Amino acid sequence: MTQLSMTVNGQPVSHDIEDNMLLVTYLRETLALTGTHIGCDTSQCGACVIHINGVSAKSCTVLAVQAEGKDVTTIEGIASGDRLHPMQQAFHDQHGLQCGYCTPGMVMSAIELVQANPALSEQDIREGLEGNICRCTGYHNIVKAVQTGAQAMRKA
Amino acid sequence: MKFGIGQSVKRVEDRVLLVGQGRYTDDEMPGEGYAVAFLRSPYAHAVLTSLDISAAVTAPGVIMAASHADMAADNVGEIHCQQYVDNSDGTVVPRTTKPAMIADIVRYAGDIAAMVVAETRQQAMDAIELIEADYDSMPAVCDVYAALEDGAPQLYDCYPNNVVFDWASGDLDGARAGIAAAKADGHKIIEVDIVNSRLLASALETRPIVAQPDGESLTLWLPSQGPAPLASQIAEALGMKDDELKVLTGHVGGGFGYKIFLHPEQLCVAWAARKIGSVVRWQQERSEAFLSDVHGRDNRTKAWAAVDKTGKILAMEVSVHANMGAWLSNFGIYIPTLSATRTLTGPYDIQTVGMRVRGIVTNTPAVDAFRGAGRPEANYLLERLMDHIAAELSIDRFELRRRNLIKPEQIPYTMVEGGAVDSGDMPGLLDEIIEKADVAGFAARRAESEAQGKYRGLGLAMYLEQCGQGGGGGVDIEFEANGSVILYAAQQDNGQGHLTTLTQIFSDRLGYDSDLIKVVQGDSLRTPPGTTGGAKMASVLGSSVSEAASLIAVDAQKLAAEHLGVDDADVGLAEGVFTASGTNQSISIEELVRLTATEDGPHPLNRFNNYKASGATYPYGSHIIEIEVDKASFVPQIVRYTTMDDFGNILNPLTLFGQIQGGIAQGVGQALYEYLAYDETGQLLSGSLMDYTLPRADHLPMLDNHTRNTPCQNNLLGVKGAGEAGAIGAPPAVISALCDALGVVHIDMPATLDTIWKVMQAKKAAA
Amino acid sequence: MYATQYHKAISLDDARSQLAAADDAKLLAGGMTLIPTLKQRLAQTDLLIDLADTGLTLIEDTGSHLKIGAMCRHYDVETSTLVATMIPMLGSLAGGIGDRQVRNYGTLGGSIANNDPSACYPAALMALGANIHTSERDIAAEDFFVGMFETDLDEQEIVTAVSFPKPDKAAYVKFPNPASRYAMVGVCVAVMDGDVRVAITGAGQDGVFRHNDMEAALSEQFSAMAIETVAIDEEMLLSDIHAGADYRAHLVREMTRRAITACQP
């Protein structure tokens, strides 16, 4: 057991946890932040992507204890009250989600992608989402959503 | 109107999913309950000679360890195939069932030898490692042709030569005679032998279960495509009364077929939870999904077509070898037989056809429906045959299809395999997509690709599907005193946008405020039965809601007349408001609902409706693809993708095209990337996403989707099923384009890099 | 995952003493391979020693070499202006490893210590003749990579940095496995003081290797034409569902051609 403290979506949290607990398990089962999903066991699918100190990470491939003292942001933490984050709004507007299971990770990846390169091309988006798998949309509307979201983020 | 039919209404489902407030199965009571782990057989074919679970029973944190013997002692029932066919010689197919855990013989790697329930997942997995299982391994067989050979390993005594059934449809004798006669007349006989590869549905959410017992009762949360059939099968197996078991499905992270069917773990977990009397949870890992989900497709098919000089098909015989896997899943037999035969002749006018289907057991996981369920297999065969005929007769591929298509004047067109195409203009659609895809400009684009060291190919496929009928039309509509209305609906959203679509229909038909409409699915004790199989949500359930709304309008009109103090006939409904003609007196439907609510009884406007379509829907369409293949590395990349479909009336273009695009990605996946590969001992070689290639964003181009619609005559809304179409049209179109690029007549799926390499080496050697 | 203890080392010395004291400890660098391996119970350890806070993240110009700390993330190398100035090939190699999230966590030291036969970095280290600095000694890349998932490191040894000599020109070309996105074939071509070196990852049964015959041919004439007839021995190449040895051999030649053409100072 290790005493773990970090900030999640702006709130300080602290728990005694097993050292081998994955960060995604801590978020989902200890904090009940179930918006972060698990879709595979080989770090391929990206349903678990969150931000740690503003950097995207696959939370199924990070131990919770590794995030000690860090600032963690999950899909639950990016809207401002009722107002969706521009990337969330873009996914809604462009029908960039169907079953919604990949969506939290997809949105978190897309936000970092746009932050790193606000003027990204279609090809940049497709390559930049290499670590996120969607089984429903064929990616067509996800690419459109990220384009739309990028525009909105530039304006915001 | 805000929520009208035909508008690109944005989805009501999205908000909670976008902010992380979805309720998928594993989100129920997160972290609570005991954890389940399974010990799975490493052998594909073996006798389980001994099993000692005693060390697991006493391991730290273990609540229970169990094997088949324990479930058998409780008389837990087994998994039954739910639809059999008879053999073509009239004999009855011997019935076999699948116990939840291995009884004695292992028939596929991954079958369950034992289970452990422990306080934590880690303890459960630790205890699993303490179980001693001994096996006598036997030779395995995974390929259907190999399974038929003399001396092949035999899976079941009752299925000699591993053949479960030998079934025929259409006029097999007639087809054979037709081919023989055509041959005698000097016509060409074109023969193909093709692979339809084995797939994992790979919904991004796996197949978890949460079980909460309460006395004799049990609540199960699990992802489904409609909870009712799972509930009834589980209740029967556990000897429970129907009302003692409640199966709940919240959000579902993709289904595509396999989440309809009963899987062994569902029986194990439900049984264990009742035995223990506490909440029990199973979190299926992706690697477990590869071993334990029912798989899709996996046919080897031979076909012969007699064609005249113009390329017109005179007669066709088809012989399908359908891999059943190691046991018979719920619809395992139905898929390659009764489902596939429904579109045997596709959009073509073929008058003499017969199909023989043999279901063959092998040492692989069971096979059942995957998006399209038999129809992609049948359509793929037909389209490969078309390309082969075109090549053999040196007829343009587009022209060949045009010559064989059903003509508009033949509609309604009765297909020889059954069913009648009610609407459509196949040649018109083909002509229009040729324009849209700029087929005329292909030669110039090919030259550009050549200049960049790339082969470029143009491919096309047509398809016709028979879908969108059957059960699952139940909707129970309840109005509330505050004016809101709840639609308890059959089937189950898996991402298609059922809530939006049904809200749209109900709102459109009554002018009802969409914000006051709530759609509820996924409760086996409350929502009407039915699943999403067969692209029937809009045609059956949508029509049912539409019909119910119309009937409610009639009832409401009487109440409105009463309220307004006029005759029924003098009241009209427009935009959600009842107005007495010739007066300025009116009342909105929502206000009427509030006023007519009773204190304690049900609302007088409440209505249960069940709709049965008068016939199937026959969506058809075409995919035209251009693919580039790097001449040096053989990497394929689809660069243009155009579709045109006839889906009848359109309810919501946004979600409709979403379905097409998702289906295309899965079809492209099958054609180029995905496959479950087994070695000769029955070990899975592509058992994780490190080896099983799911399409990613950079595998696909932007998609250019069009429709050219003629309303369906067989349901109230005039819609045609669209959920499976993308996955049906894509595989043959991709292979057609790839063959064109590489200058070969055929390449089998999956056309992976290594397959393309081998084909090109063979071509080089032959040259 | 089996039960394990976690220790975040505060310095290299701390990590060394923890490693020495434990029966069975593993070093956690970026964790991009180790954690999935532990998660699937394919490995087990009593103690994980996290190197995240040990420093080891410096990227420096030593005059003769570009020295990169073992805990530099792929993202750090991808975006370093010093790397881009001195050996741009390394920046583009790092930018092609895994996906964005892997590059945000995966490290140079972790990659080479694991020596996955499909990893990208080993090819660059071999082609450039890099020097691996450890807590105990310096090891030449040739001696470091022993075989598939095997290195010359002993159990108590920690990679601290890698020094790359600056090539006259170099390029790395990766052909990714479509599923895992690891290198199915990766070729690094470098010209060092006029000497041509070709290192290949992803293809060999024993992990990364140099191709002496191609090197000899390219030393004679540095052009894609020069390797047309050089034999590539399929016997020593991997064969799996993604690519048979014959196709891999073809890809080795083709990726080498591309690397030759892409070579830049």
Please write the tens of the pLDDT for every residue from B517-576.
999 999 999 999 999 988 899 999 999 999 999 999 999 999 999 999 999 999 999 999
Number of domains making up chain C = 3
Distance from CA of B590 to the nearest CA of A (A): 27
Are A20 and C102 inside 8 Å of each other by CB? Answer: no
**Rounded average pLDDT over B208-222:** 97
Quick check: is B697 in a domain?
yes
Please state, in angstroms and rounded to a whole number, the distance separating the CA atoms of residues B407 and B399: 14
CATH code for the domain in which residue B480 is found? 3.30.365.10
Q: Which chains touch A (3 or more CB pairs under 8 A)?
A: B, C
| Contacts with B761 from chain C: Cβ below 8 Å | 246
Quick check: is C55 in a domain?
no
Residues B623 and B759 in one domain: yes
- C41 to chain B: nearest residue by CA? B125
Exposure string of B264-303, with b = 16+ CB inside 10 Å and e = fewer, is bbbbbbbbbbbbbebbbbbbbbbbbbbbbbbbbbbbbbeb
Residues C200, C211: contact at Cβ < 8 Å? yes
Residues B738 and B628 in one domain: yes
Quick check: is B145 in a domain?
no
Domain boundary among C117, C149, C165: C165
Are C241 and B287 inside 8 Å of each other by CB? Answer: no
Residue B565 burial (10 A CB sphere; 0-12, 13-18, 19+): exposed
Residues C191 and C139 in one domain: no
Residues B559 and B435 in one domain: no
- State the best of C42, C102, C251 to mutate against chain B, taking most chain B CBs within 10 Å: C251
- What is the residue-level pLDDT of chain C in tens, covering all 265 positions? 999 999 999 999 999 999 999 999 999 999 999 999 999 999 999 999 999 999 999 999 999 999 999 999 999 999 999 999 999 999 999 999 999 999 999 999 999 999 999 999 999 999 999 999 999 999 999 999 999 999 999 999 999 999 999 999 999 999 999 999 999 999 999 999 989 999 999 999 999 999 999 999 999 999 999 999 999 999 999 999 999 999 999 999 999 999 999 998 8
- Residues of chain A with a CB closer than 8 angstroms to some CB in chain C: 2, 18-20, 22, 41-44, 46, 49, 55-58, 60-63, 65-66, 68, 109, 112-113, 128, 130-132
Are C254 and B633 inside 8 Å of each other by CB? Answer: yes
What residue ranges define each of the domains in chain A, with the CATH number in brackets? Answer: 2-77 (3.10.20.30), 86-155 (1.10.150.120)
Q: Which of B457, B423, B475, B493 lies closest to B658 in space, CA to CA?
A: B493
Quick check: is C107 in a domain?
yes
| Contacts with A44 from chain C: Cβ below 8 Å | 179-180
Residues B413 and B544 in one domain: no
| pLDDT tens-digit map of A118-144 | 999 999 999 999 999 999 999 999 999
Residues C193 and C254 in one domain: yes
Residue reference for tokens 């959009």: B347
Residues B106, B100: contact at Cβ < 8 Å? no
Distance from CA of A73 to the nearest CA of C (A): 15
**Residue A69, Ramachandran bin (φ over 0: left; ψ between -120 and 50: alpha; else beta):** left
Banded pLDDT at B94 (limits 50, 70, 90)? very high
Residues C11 and C89 in one domain: no
Phi, psi of B417 (to 5 degrees): -85, 0
SS3 call for B299: strand
Residues C176 and C242 in one domain: yes
The one-letter amino acid code at B514 reads S
Residues C71 and C107 in one domain: yes
Residues C214 and C254 in one domain: yes
Quick check: is C154 in a domain?
yes
**DSSP letter (8 states) at residue B203:** -
| Contacts with B206 from chain A: Cβ below 8 Å | 39
- Asked if the C-beta of C53 comes within 8 angstroms of chain A's C-beta atoms, the answer is no
| Contacts with A55 from chain C: Cβ below 8 Å | 104
| Contacts with B125 from chain C: Cβ below 8 Å | 41
Q: Smallest Cβ distance to A19: which of C5, C39, C98? A: C5
Q: For a pLDDT cut of 90, what percent of chain B falls above it? A: 98
Residue B349: HSE in the Cβ half-sphere, 13 Å Cα cutoff: 18
Phi, psi of B555 (to 5 degrees): -65, -45
Domain boundary among B610, B631, B657: B610
* ipTM reported for the complex, 2 dp: 0.98
Q: Which of B275, B247, B265 lies closest to B36 in space, CA to CA?
A: B265
Are B757 and C3 inside 8 Å of each other by CB? Answer: no
Please state, in angstroms and rounded to a whole number, the distance separating the CA atoms of residues B47 and B14: 50
- A21 to chain C: nearest residue by CA? C1
Give me the numbers of helices (H) and strands (E) for chain A, helices first please.
Answer: 5, 5
Residues B620 and B760 in one domain: yes
| pLDDT tens-digit map of B575-624 | 999 999 988 899 999 999 999 999 889 999 999 999 999 999 999 999 99
Are A35 and B15 inside 8 Å of each other by CB? Answer: no
Domain boundary among B585, B610, B635: B610
Are B686 and C241 inside 8 Å of each other by CB? Answer: yes
Residue B411: give the domain boundaries: 405-465+616-766
pLDDT at B584: 87
Are B254 and A135 inside 8 Å of each other by CB? Answer: yes
Residues C160 and C175 in one domain: no
Domain boundary among B610, B640, B664: B610
Residues C189, C170: contact at Cβ < 8 Å? yes
Are C6 and A65 inside 8 Å of each other by CB? Answer: yes
Contacts of A16 (CB under 8 A, 6+ apart): A1, A2, A3, A4
Contacts of A116 (CB under 8 A, 6+ apart): none
- C37 to chain A: nearest residue by CA? A42
| pLDDT tens-digit map of B614-668 | 999 999 999 999 999 999 999 999 999 999 999 999 999 999 999 999 999 999 9
Hey, what are C191's tokens? 């010209």
CATH code for the domain in which residue C28 is found? 3.30.43.10
Residues C178 and C145 in one domain: no
Please state, in angstroms and rounded to a whole number, the distance separating the CA atoms of residues B168 and B159: 18
Residues B419 and B442 in one domain: yes
pLDDT at A129: 98
Residues B493 and B457 in one domain: no
The beta strands (E) that lie in chain C are given as: 5-8, 25-28, 47-50, 59-61, 65-69, 131-134, 138-140, 145-147, 150-151, 159-165, 169-176, 183-192, 195-201, 209-210
Residues B656 and B762 in one domain: yes
Residues B474, B512: contact at Cβ < 8 Å? no
Residue C43 burial (10 A CB sphere; 0-12, 13-18, 19+): middle
Residues C78 and C156 in one domain: yes
- State the best of B200, B285, B753 to mutate against chain C, taking most chain C CBs within 10 Å: B753
Contacts of B14 (CB under 8 A, 6+ apart): A91, A92, A97, A100
Residue reference for tokens 């989707």: B705
Phi, psi of B719 (to 5 degrees): -95, 160
Residues B704 and B631 in one domain: yes
Residue C103: give the domain boundaries: 60-165
Residues C31 and C107 in one domain: no
Number of domains making up chain B = 2
Q: Which chains touch B (3 or more CB pairs under 8 A)?
A: A, C
- B22 to chain A: nearest residue by CA? A35
Phi, psi of B661 (to 5 degrees): -65, -40
CATH code for the domain in which residue C179 is found? 3.30.390.50
Quick check: is B751 in a domain?
yes
| Contacts with C6 from chain A: Cβ below 8 Å | 2, 19-20, 63, 65-66
Residues C28 and C98 in one domain: no
Are A36 and B20 inside 8 Å of each other by CB? Answer: yes
Distance from CA of B206 to the nearest CA of A (A): 7
Contacts of C155 (CB under 8 A, 6+ apart): C19
Hey, what are B267's tokens? 């029986």
Q: Smallest Cβ distance to A142: which of B202, B695, B697? A: B697
CATH code for the domain in which residue C94 is found? 3.30.465.10
Residues B477 and B569 in one domain: yes
Quick check: is B299 in a domain?
no
Quick check: is B514 in a domain?
yes
Banded pLDDT at B1 (limits 50, 70, 90)? low
- Asked if the C-beta of B354 comes within 8 angstroms of chain A's C-beta atoms, the answer is no
- State the best of C1, C41, C99 to mutate against chain A, taking most chain A CBs within 10 Å: C99
Quick check: is C25 in a domain?
yes
| Contacts with C244 from chain B: Cβ below 8 Å | 754, 757-758
Residues C151 and C187 in one domain: no
- For residue B248, CA distances in Å to B25, B163, B218, B232, B570 come to 9, 37, 11, 13, 45
Least confident residue range of B1-15, B326-340, B552-566, C96-110:
B1-15
Contacts of A44 (CB under 8 A, 6+ apart): A131, A133, B688, B689, B690, B694, C179, C180
Q: Smallest Cβ distance to C101: which of A20, A66, A131? A: A131
Residues B443 and B482 in one domain: no
| Contacts with B59 from chain C: Cβ below 8 Å | none
Quick check: is B749 in a domain?
yes
- For residue A67, CA distances in Å to A63, B66, C25, C58, C67 come to 7, 38, 20, 22, 28
- B686 to chain C: nearest residue by CA? C241
| Contacts with B694 from chain C: Cβ below 8 Å | 179
H/E/C letters for each residue in B388-413?
HHHHHHCCCHHHHHHHHECCHHHCCE
Residues B701 and B632 in one domain: yes
Residues A68, A55: contact at Cβ < 8 Å? no
Packing angle between helix B753-766 and helix C245-262, nearest 10 degrees? 100
Contacts of C56 (CB under 8 A, 6+ apart): C12, C69, C70, C71, C72, C109, C160, C161
| Contacts with C71 from chain A: Cβ below 8 Å | none
B767 vs B104, residue with greater confidence: B104
**Residue A44: pLDDT over 80:** yes
Residues B156, B163: contact at Cβ < 8 Å? no
Quick check: is C177 in a domain?
yes
| pLDDT tens-digit map of B220-251 | 999 999 999 999 999 999 999 989 999 999 99
| Contacts with C2 from chain A: Cβ below 8 Å | 20
- Residues of chain B with a CB closer than 8 angstroms to some CB in chain C: 122, 125-126, 287, 632-634, 673, 677, 685-686, 689-694, 699, 752-754, 757-758, 761
Phi, psi of B191 (to 5 degrees): -125, 140
